[in-house]
Amino acid sequence: DAGVIQSPRHEVTEMGQEVTLRCKPISGHNSLFWYRQTMMRGLELLIYFNNNVPIDDSGMPEDRFSAKMPNASFSTLKIQPSEPRDSAVYFCASSRGQLEAFFGQGTRLTVV
């Protein structure tokens, strides 16, 4: 299996622009997670889906952030409008139920 695939690997955008991050989970995994990593806050969960349904979005910072999972093999995390404080590494992870989770390589987002 190719593992969890995220795109793009790097994104540089100007403040106010819309940013869309993409994730393809491991085939057969029914749980998908979006995490954000910063120096200040470490790794924090933004949202997770189970069987394509959002289960917990309490970590989503504010209304500028939204996430979708239209099918079992694809998810997006969108920031609109983006702000410099959104600069971070965004990780997607997937698992089969509550079993071992695997992470993608992350998207490094820089908002200038």
Partner 1 sequence: GIQVEQSPPDLILQEGANSTLRCNFSDSVNNLQWFHQNPWGQLINLFYIPSGTKQNGRLSATTVATERYSLLYISSSQTTDSGVYFCAVESGRGSTLGRLYFGRGTQLTVWP
For binding to partner 1 (CB under 8 A), which residues are involved? 31, 33, 42-45, 48, 50, 55-56, 89, 91, 93, 95, 97-103, 105-106, 108
Pairing assessment for the beta strands 74-79 and 88-95 based on DSSP bridges:
unpaired
Q: How far apart are CA 88 and CA 98, in angstroms?
A: 26
The SS3 of residue 84 is helix
- In the complex with partner 1, the residue whose CB is nearer, 74 or 102, is 102
Query: Smallest distance, Å, CB 81 to partner 1?
Result: 26
Query: Smallest distance, Å, CB 3 to partner 1?
Result: 10
- In the complex with partner 1, the residue whose CB is nearer, 42 or 70, is 42
Q: What does each C-alpha distance from 66 to 5, 78, 105 come to in angstroms?
A: 19, 5, 21
